[in-house]
Structure 1
Amino acid sequence: MNRREILTAAAAIGLVPAARAVAAAGDLRGAAREAYIYCLPLIEMAAARDRMLHESGEGQPAGLNFLKPTRKLTTDKNRTITTPNNDTLYSSAWLDLTKGPLTLTIPPSDRYVSVALLNMYSDNDAILGTRTTGNGGGRYTIVGPGQPGSGPNIVRCSTPHAWLLVRILSDGPADLAAAHALQDRFVLTGPKTPPPRAYATRKSSWKDYFTSAQALLIADPPPAVDGVVLARIAALGLKPGGGFDPAKLDAAAIREIEAGVAEALPSAARRSAPNIVAGWTYPRGDIGVWGQDYDFRAVVALGGLAALPPVEAMYLRPVGDGGPGTMLGGNYRLSFAAGKLPPVDSFWSITMYEATSDGQFFLTENALNRFSIGDRSPGLKKNPDGSLDIWIGRNDPGGEKTSNWLPAPAKGPFTISLRAYLAKAELLDGRWRAPPLTRL
């Protein structure tokens, strides 16, 4: 029997603490690294839930199973959720399905609507609305795992807790009253429950992070198909049924855990290879429905929580000035040839984001109070030949070009996101490609 087998056997019969045995065998570091990545969506979803439930609510009570409308398009003042859009009004509800099903009424509409049901691991379990159920409205019964399906139009969530996120297209300030009227016709009914306790965040100590991760794994058990990764992180004591106890870890084990946590996000980013074509990063096919791609899931949970799958919305980002993984920092022109605008069945836009030091993205203050530019922007001017130039950067290009200017932050790194909602086949299959950014 080799040293590893001796340590494993000793741990099994209680001769040494299991965590110490694994640390001595050199596996605890890897377990901590993988556990941090695996649990990050749970941590980010719980943190988003806590922030949103404790915001001032425009008359809405702060609790679970309440559908709360946001009455304004997102601006630089909104810092609740990373990478928001500036095209749709959001309505949001954090769900607790442990007390029974909920009923959602979606009204008829003549505009783009999507209702995403995200489980606590950040998968889109279902998307209702324009693309999938049409614009005729309907009543839907949302049930949790293991609950009997009864009622109209069953929609099943794979975790007992979830996030219901409604997006309603708005064409700007003049259109808000009509969009509000539509928001008010969405109705969510069912048992109401108080907010859950707050959990640790990604900025917490490793001890608090994994303690909260353990509680979240118990509250929202992972799917059976995650059995292999769960077996690997069990060395940490982290299991769906409970078991993580930092008090049992000695100094050597703690050093291994700290080293693994420090490696987690950089290693996830390295393994989440982007799909780059002509200077743009295109979304991978598994975005929004992750399967067992835990690295990619963690990276998007940090930088784009609640991302929709490509068939609903395509998100393109340019490669930065220093290559993949870097940001923009200058002035640019994006030129669409005549007849070559993003092909969509709903709408497209380009949104400006300032990058934070911890990998998140928010809208940025600017003199024009303009956060995005796209097919519904008033005053957008095409060239005489039908082509369209978008000017992107810190400096006003001046003259008539200002109408097509997307302002960047006065300082610091930034990026943009080209969104295409209900992309046509030629964008989804790669026949249409975004033109490269030209640095000025």
Structure 2
Amino acid sequence: MNRRELMAVLAAIAATPAARAFAAQGDLTAAAREAWLYALPLIEMAQARQRMLTATGVDAQKAGLNSFGHSRKLVVPANRWITTPNNDTLYSSAWLDLTKGPVTLTIPPTSDRYISVAVMDMYTNNNAVLGTRTLGGQGGTFTLVGPGQSGSGADVVRVETPHAWMLVRTLVDGEADLPAAHAVQDGLKLKGPKGVAPGAYANRQSPWDAYFSSVAELLASDPPRPEDLALFRKCAGLGLDPKGAFDPKRFDAAAIAQIQAGVAQASMGLIGFTKRMVFTQGWSYPRSNLGDYGQDYGFRALVALAGLAALPVTEAMYLRAQGDDGAVFSGDGLYHLAVPAKLPLDGFWSLTMYEATADGQFFLTENPINRYAIGDRTPGLKRNADGSLDVWIGRSDPGGDRTANWLPAPAKGPFAMTLRAYLPRQEFLDGRFRMPAVQKV
């Protein structure tokens, strides 16, 4: 639905007696918009779970219920199982089912290799991140308990929903380092009751009735936080209950038109967000509540769409470069980024190139040199005498000495770039340090 069609729908439904009756009970369009945004993380998580549990093929990102699946290679453009992937770490995934009891997690010693084990509830909040930052390189054994389950002590990790996603990032330093990284992956263990395979659910493009019916099932399976009850009261006209009740048959044609308009507003608003992002000296910096969103439902929905499974800022800073149109670049010319010799972090950094899709997602892009990111571990880069780095960005090879530091953009179409800084220091977190802007040459 485009903007003109949306405005026509809104004008038509506003004139009907049924619409005026619903307006007396509350704005059904606004209720549908807010409820759609609130529930999008549940839908995206359910879709990711379904893809991973049923994945086939050597390069697929697989996962089990209460068991790990491992990606043995770095992500490439053909891997589109999740939006905005990194090209620095191997992924390991497990979908947790704690309904029958706790699950035990073992993390092996990793020495100085970066690892993070993120435990996300079904609303995409990081309930815990275990690994280099929190454990050092010692590893450990932990008991994951769901809502209402008993457990105490430093080794107990409380998960806020009965189902959850565990996503592990293990740093790999080039092809020769893969066997050692695989050994770390193989040391990850889960032990617990056998999980129950989940059903199929609607996706974000599904019709309103299928979407909200699936949301109701997911709410029943993984109830919301008590502080979310105000949202459900605000959206009472929709009849979506926090315990999972929803009856799409109760609405007449005029009411359905309102609901469809609200869903369209929510979807169009998210896709257009990149044009309204706030930039500071050429970069959009993450909000402090990234990865643990509280009642910031709009931001949570945006991240679920464009960066599902984002880590908290204490673990990693995600910066989006300011482009020609918001956070999106469209030019055919050359761009330049001057990277300081040292960034204030205790981990590593990388600048990753993405092609932007029409529905607001981002994936790695094919290029002639198979380089999808540039970072502090990229071999063959030419640094300046002071250790700083000139990164050249464009659709074609910049030639000469610049070729060594070329980050290829897609051959055509819009693109975006994300800079990741793992284990940022305080001056990065509080804004005292700012990255230089990407400049058009």
Same fold (TM over 0.5): yes
The 10-residue stretch of structure 1 (41-50 or 424-433) with the greater mean CA deviation from structure 2: 424-433
Change in Cα spacing, 1:270 to 1:293, as seen in structure 2 (3 Å) is farther
Q: 1:336-359 CA deviation, whole Å, 9 max, x = no partner?
A: 34x4x3222110000000000100
Q: State the AA in 1 paired with 2:259.
A: I
Distance between the aligned counterparts of 2:395 and 2:136, measured in 1? 41
The match for 2:280 is: 277
- The residue that corresponds to 2:42 in the other structure is 42
Secondary structure of the structure 1 residue equivalent to 2:346: strand
Please name the residue that 1:5 is paired with.
Answer: none
Question: Does the residue aligned with 1:46 lie in a helix, a strand or coil?
Answer: helix
Q: Count residues in correspondence.
A: 420
Question: Where does residue 7 of structure 1 map in the other structure?
Answer: none
Paired AA for residue 399 in structure 1: G
Give the alignment partner of residue 314 of structure 1, picking from 314, 317, 334: 317
- Call closer, same or farther: CA 1:368–1:270 in 2, change over 3 Å: closer
- 1:210 maps to 212
Shift of 1:19: 9.9
Q: Percent identity?
A: 60
What's the CA shift string for 1:108-163, capped at 9, x where partnerless? 01200100000000000111011012210110000000111168700000000000
Asked whether the equivalents of residues 105 and 142 of structure 2 are also in contact (C-alpha less than 8 Å), the reply is: yes
On the 8 A contact 1:42/1:213 being kept in 2, the answer is yes
Rounded to whole Å, the distance in 2 between the matches of 1:325 and 1:179 is 33
Structure 2 match to 1:30: 30
User: Matched residues in 2 for 1:55 and 1:238: separation?
Assistant: 32
**1:275 touches 1:284 (CA, 8 Å); kept in 2?**
no
SS across alignment from 1:329: coil
**Cα distance, 1:384 vs. partner?**
3.3
Choose the corresponding residue for 2:147, options 138, 145, 148: 145
Asked whether the equivalents of residues 275 and 283 of structure 1 are also in contact (C-alpha less than 8 Å), the reply is no
Letter matched to residue 137 of structure 1: G
For residues 10-29 of structure 1, the aligned pairs below 5 Å read 21-23=21-23, 25=25, 27-29=27-29
Q: Which of these residues, 240, 243, 246, is aligned with residue 245 of structure 2?
A: 243
Distance 1:316 1:181 in 2: 31
**Shift in CA distance, 379/325, structure 1 to aligned 2, threshold 3 Å:** closer
Measure how far apart 1:26 and its partner are. Answer: 5.2
Structure 1 partner of 2:292: 289
Inter-partner Cα distance in structure 1 for 2:83 and 2:116: 19
Match of residue 403 from structure 1: 404
Deviation of 1:25 after TM superposition, in Å, equals 4.5
Task: Render the CA deviation track for 1:250-279: whole Å, top value 9, x for unaligned.
Answer: 011101101111111344578897442111
Q: Answer whether contact 2:63 2:93 (CA < 8 A) is retained.
A: no
Q: 1:332 aligns with which of 313, 316, 335?
A: 335
TM normalised by structure 2 equals 0.91
Q: Is the 8 A contact 2:80 2:363 kept in 1?
A: yes
Gaps of 5+ in 1: 1-17
Distance in 2 (CA, whole Å) between partners of 1:213 and 1:350 is 35
Deviation at 1:426, TM superposition (A): 1.7
d(CA) in 2 for partners of 1:124 and 1:60?
A: 20
The equivalent of 2:8 in structure 1 is none
* Secondary structure of 1:389's aligned partner: strand
Q: What's the RMSD between the two structures over aligned residues? A: 2.1
Match of 2:424 in 1: 423
Counterpart CA distance in 2 for 1:143 and 1:134 is 23
Structure 2: how far apart are the matches of 1:219 and 1:234? 20
CA contact (8 A) 2:103 2:193 kept: yes
Output the CA distance in 2 between the equivalents of 1:31 and 1:271: 20
* Amino acid in the other structure paired with 1:208: A
